[in-house]
Structure 1
Amino acid sequence: MTITDPTTLRSADGDAPVQHPLASLSAPEFDRIRDIVTGFDDFTETTRFAYVGLEEPHKRAVLAWQAGDGPLPERLARVMLLDMATGRSTDNVVSIDSGSLLSTVVLDGSRGQLPILIEEFDAIAEIVAEDEGWVAALAARGCTVDEVKVVPLSAGFYDYPEEVGRRIVRVLAFRQDYPADHPWAHPVDGLSAYVDTAARRITRLIDATALAIPAEPGNFDDPAVQGAPLSSLKPIVITQPEGPSFQVDGEFVEWGNWRFQVGFDVREGLVLRQLSFDDAGEERPIIYRASINEMLVPYGDPSPVRFWQNYFDTGEYLFGRFTNSLALGCDCVGEIKYFDAVLADELGNPFTIENGICMHEEDFGTLWKHSDLYTGSNEVRRSRRLVISFFTTVGNYDYGFYWYLYLDGTIECESKLTGILFTSAYPGLDAEGADYPYASEVAPGLGGPYHQHLFSARLDMMVDGLSNAVEEVDAVRVPIGPGNEHGNAFTKRVTRLSTEAGSGRVADGSAARAWHIVNTEKTNRMGRPTGYVLYPQESPTLMADASSSIAKRAEFATKHLFVTKYDPAERYAAGDFVHQNPGGDGITRFIEGDESIDGEDIVLWHTFGPTHFPRPEDWPVMPVDYARFTLKPYGFFGKNPTLNVPPNEAVGHCSHDTGAAHTGHGGHDQGAEEHCGHGH
């Protein structure tokens, strides 16, 4: 049985449909989970649902069931609960099938806190407004409580005695001059409050040097700021008259030779499961599960009110809950299939983000081409890719995550970064005439602190099966000498990664370093291991000092790659409880056992992302920046797997005389509102 044929998913009696064990939780399931949990003896009126998600079965149990060799795994949910009044936090697993509580762990705060609740964020403005010190500090800067927007932010870990076992957020302020004014343009710098959310009080008030509040507005949505519209751009119309090439049944997708399942989680956002490729009738697995499991945004400004700015947008904020509804604008263009994202709110009630995931096809230029000198053959094929994406807005930044599948078996993940810079006041030149070394001036008196965006992709590999290994491949110069008399030779050096503790690797563009994931039991027609290769986009790893708090909390970000043996409990690169975690969890703990990763069921943890020195051009709204990595077949196929892609039929759109007046495809003009996305 394959997961891409959901019609075969039937109960033993052959009648009732069976829900796939990896299917995303549905609204009725969230209702059932809420009813189970609210019946707990320790559930109170102030208890909130900090996280509700599918507790996925062990990989081998799912594969056994699909093969007909094992029972249907029990349907489980993981539920994290926070009592807002006391701070009591629990991590629970419940059976949706039986309605029973299977396990409970009470957190004492020593290894981190539950993710921050929206209800906690919403309470911050009222808490700080009641503090006399905060009000006085604002007044000294010419502001009132009503004129500022407070931004509650994750606290990190700095071992302050009054924060031990307490839920803390740190607060910065921005002035808003009128309701439509974007406050990011007016940071009230030199001031920060540390807040105990359960006790509802400020534990520390940092009132450092008062810097001038930048006055120039940053209202990118104001026509007066935008200027006259660029009227010379003509419409680009994308149509598929016969509809899209993919087939969808629930969460199951078939496109070209690809088969996979689309899922969604409030912490990780978009999840792709069991990607496989139909190779001449054989369905060959490649990745069991792929997601962005963590996203770290560390800032490099060491000022007294900013040194703690290090945000884990998945583990601390659950960035999936801020997913955009893509029906609201032209986020996708063409013939679109939308998937809704169904989540639970903090009372345990289901809610739906309509059109949270977008899927469509894109033309991608030339797939292959050759004009032969000797035979006169002149062949060209066009490439296309399937795009599965979602966008989430975490405070000031907007992040799009795009997974691309190509006809030749290539898989690519791309992050698109846009939105608004997290700003500071710009101090200007120091007494010696030197510029401020930790931020760029992006507008008069307005700073854009230096920072990084470090995404962790969790790639649960399954290249042709469960027995996989990783080889690091470097390009190597061969010294001139015997056998290389003219000095032109170069070769490759292959290093097999053998155990977890030695798996931490750094990209090296000077050596074209790549990591090959090979099957240790399967070979291709040349007798060599079948495999895929991970091509990283070379960029810095975590820039913070190795002894810093953030480096201890985010060891995953100190390397571009770690490899671990599959363990269903190892889900997140920074650990399960990231908020106020002192460090030592996640990857640090995963590799302690130093298990073998040679010929095993392995997981790759790949860190990628830009180091951002903001430009004036990034203000007042940032043009999209890109970060990506690529997985390509390497010996997985015996030859080019796209030889059978047919040539495009000439239907009047392979070329156009740009001197001729014409309208949109089909002889009529189409406005943007007509082709931003036709839902299916």
Structure 2
Amino acid sequence: MTCSCSTGTHVQRSRRLGDESGAPFATLSEGELQEAAAILRRHGRLEETHRIAYIGLDEPDRREVLAGRPVARRALVQLLDVATGRAHDISVDLDRGDIARDEPIDPAVSGQVPLLKEEHILIRDLLATDERWLAALALRGIHDPATVALAGLSAGRFPIEGEDGRRMARVLGHHQPTPQTMPWAHPIDGLVAYVDLGARGVTQVIDTGVVPIPQETADYHVPGTFGPERTTQKPIVIRQPEGPSFSFDGDVVSWEKWSLRVGYDMREGLILHGIGFEDAGRVRPIVHRASIAEMLVPYGDPGPVRFWQNYFDTGEYLLGRLVNSLELGCDCVGDITYLDVPIADARGEVKVLPNAVCIHEEDAGVLWKHTEQFTGTTDVRRQRRLVISFFVTVGNYDYGFYWYLYLDGKIEFEAKATGLVFTAAYDERASRYASELAPGLAAPYHQHLFCARLDMAVDEGPAVVDEVDVTTVPIDGDNAHGTAIGFRATRLTSEKSARRRSDASVDRTWRVSSTTATNRLGRPVSYVLAGEGKPVLLAQPDSVIASRARFATADLWVTAYDVAERYPAGAVVNQSAGDQGLPAFVADDASLDGADLVLWHTFGLTHFPRTEDWPIMPVDTCGFVLRPHDFFDRNPTLDVPASVAPCSCTHEEHAHADVSHQHHENQHSARREH
């Protein structure tokens, strides 16, 4: 059932990303994607058996851009020949119409390019005729393979005989007796297939024994399945009669004192470039580039059917291409601007994904407030924030990615996890590693881990990073009563020493300070990263997944900027070798003292599923905050005007409200002067 809403209270506007294709960091436009495909064809790189696994902007070195030097406009392509299994990493020069770089991807050294959509069709075709698979289904009373929903999943890289160098997938099934049945309620447990995608064959069907298929329905999408809908909710109306407070210049959005370029990539999704804040007549840089560069979902069931279940949703599945088309009044409420995103498919054909990104502003509670007994004044200001978001569906789970910019210079990111948990059958063995959600139905314990890549630019120049812990102060001559508190700042001087863990007991944060800019008190201007301090990767350090996802074993890594270092798990993630990405980036232990700094922050959720998560999971959230620290000379929101109560307005009533607002301000001014 689709969302229904009262569209009369909402406003929708649409724009297309990539229309400003001349800018160095602008999203590839529809025309540029088409041109990249045409160049590949002219050079024999996009023939009948070739598939584009990934295409996006080959970003220039930001130091070249900031220096004002001309940079080439290029597209980065990961290409697979499905006939030979050979893959290539290619940079297409759009200015010259040529191939700037073409390097083979060695699966033994790197791994395999991301899974293709057509490979999921191949999996269904192969299993539909595999006698071992059909016999295993028959043992479970299933005689029509078309009634089995197949999850073709990334295989990982395990020491399984015969898999070295092969392009593999592993397949689990759920029973779907009718097209309307929600299949996740009916896992076909004890059964898994291993598929060689390159050779187009099923290498193994592992059947550990028949397990009863859970029968309780999960058809929440069918009205009335779980009773009548409540009728108690009254409308909440959000109105912006004068339109939003933000504006666009190409792909650059300006709101209040903020400005930034909005970008989109089929791998990372949203990318924010050039985040800056206007202060005293100039825009002060804060972050050059911000994105969620990887997402990992490791499962904790060690049994023979699911021991391999670990997904890199960004690097293996390209979550950016799995974006939802958002619905006004349902996904986004109020006065909304949607951004449409051009994406190229495996053959280079370009389509535009409508309403992929939602931008709006919303009230965010009290900004500041004080009632002063000595002056008799009461002042309060409302906080508001700009919200830039998108939602993706990766198989059973749905994820929202929300960036928030606040009036006081704070930047916040929030991930929202919802959708359906991946299910299994519940039995005595499963009880150690999974929760029972319904009779006979289990959901394995797992994590959702995200890695933010934050290319910092605190007032542009070189920077340093300190780890800041609160401290207690011993009783001594200066602290005779034992009430003093303090903090300890530890400079992180090199890349290897900057691999850090959170510590909530000391309220640990990390502060990035300029080495050249100070505030009016002479202190370095800085921004502070504050994480939530929840567990990072819980798998054992010598496990296969820990070797492939080493980034997720620490809360923070810091590196000196390198244009080639974009992904924490490496450029090629599917069936990747161990210790790619961040471990390789920090191997030279480069100095961080006065460098251009990149913060890599891992955060997320550890999910022990509960009965309230079934049949669909209410949103759970995680995230982090970037907060100014001595960046401004004083509270930067002293110029925010007081609010007036909203009204349901005719034009005449609006005029009266404006007069009342001015009268209210005059009263405040008179009281302050008095």
Same fold (TM over 0.5): yes
2:96 to 70, 90, 98: 98
- 1:194-250 superposed Cα distances (whole Å, 9 cap, x missing partner): 100111111122211321110111111122223221111110000011110001122
Residue 43 of structure 1 and its aligned partner are, at CA, apart by 4.1
Match of 1:526?
521
2:45 counterpart of 1:46? no
Residue 108 of structure 1 and its aligned partner are, at CA, apart by 2.3
Q: Distance in 2 between matches of 1:210 and 1:495?
A: 57
Gaps of 5+ in 1: 1-16, 655-664, 667-680
* Matching of residues 412-423 of structure 1 within 5 Å: 412-423=412-423
Aligned partners of 2:449 and 2:604 also within 8 Å? yes
Q: Distance in 2 between matches of 1:651 and 1:633?
A: 31
Aligned partners of 1:549 and 1:582 also within 8 Å? no
2:86 counterpart of 1:83? no
Residue 327 of structure 1 and its aligned partner are, at CA, apart by 3.3
Aligned partners of 1:473 and 1:513 also within 8 Å? yes
Q: Distance in 2 between matches of 1:328 and 1:492?
A: 47
Q: Distance in 2 between matches of 1:151 and 1:538?
A: 33
2:505 to 495, 504, 510: 510
Q: Distance in 2 between matches of 1:409 and 1:41?
A: 50
Residue 383 of structure 1 and its aligned partner are, at CA, apart by 0.7
Match of 2:263?
263
Q: Distance in 1 between matches of 2:475 and 2:202?
A: 68
Match of 1:458?
453
Residue 485 of structure 1 and its aligned partner are, at CA, apart by 2.5
Q: Distance in 1 between matches of 2:59 and 2:21?
A: 16
2:31 counterpart of 1:28? yes
Aligned partners of 2:461 and 2:516 also within 8 Å? no
1:545 to 540, 545, 555: 540
- 1:108-153 superposed Cα distances (whole Å, 9 cap, x missing partner): 2111110111111121011122211111111112223122111100
Q: Distance in 2 between matches of 1:225 and 1:596?
A: 61
Match of 1:296?
296
- TM-score, normalised to structure 2, is 0.92
2:60 counterpart of 1:57? yes
Residue 341 of structure 1 and its aligned partner are, at CA, apart by 1.0
* Matching of residues 211-610 of structure 1 within 5 Å: 211-327=211-327, 330-427=330-427, 429=428, 436-610=431-605
For the residue of structure 2 that corresponds to 1:115, the secondary structure is: coil
* Matching of residues 66-77 of structure 1 within 5 Å: 70-71=69-70, 73-77=71-75
Q: Distance in 2 between matches of 1:198 and 1:98?
A: 34
Q: Distance in 1 between matches of 2:26 and 2:299?
A: 37
Range with greater deviation from structure 2 (105-114 or 572-581): 105-114
RMSD: 1.5
- 1:380-433 superposed Cα distances (whole Å, 9 cap, x missing partner): 111100000000000010000000000000000000110011111111x46xxx
Range with greater deviation from structure 2 (380-389 or 199-208): 199-208
Aligned partners of 2:158 and 2:544 also within 8 Å? yes
Q: Distance in 2 between matches of 1:18 and 1:215?
A: 53
For the residue of structure 2 that corresponds to 1:161, the secondary structure is: coil
Residue 651 of structure 1 and its aligned partner are, at CA, apart by 4.7
What code does the residue aligned with 1:216 have? E
2:614 counterpart of 1:619? yes
- 1:9-34 superposed Cα distances (whole Å, 9 cap, x missing partner): xxxxxxxx981111111111111111
Gaps of 5+ in 2: 1-19, 655-674
Range with greater deviation from structure 2 (521-530 or 395-404): 521-530
Percent of aligned positions that are identical: 53
Match of 2:670?
none
Match of 1:6?
none
Aligned partners of 1:471 and 1:496 also within 8 Å? yes
Q: Distance in 1 between matches of 2:379 and 2:243?
A: 26
* Matching of residues 162-173 of structure 1 within 5 Å: 162-173=162-173
Residue 483 of structure 1 and its aligned partner are, at CA, apart by 2.7
What code does the residue aligned with 1:161 have? E
Q: Distance in 1 between matches of 2:505 and 2:139?
A: 53
The aligned length equals 630
For the residue of structure 2 that corresponds to 1:491, the secondary structure is: strand
Question: Kindly tell me: are residues 18 and 625 of structure 1, through their superposed partners in 2, closer, same or farther at Cα, counting changes over 3 Å?
Answer: closer
Q: Distance in 2 between matches of 1:166 and 1:39?
A: 29
Aligned partners of 2:328 and 2:336 also within 8 Å? no
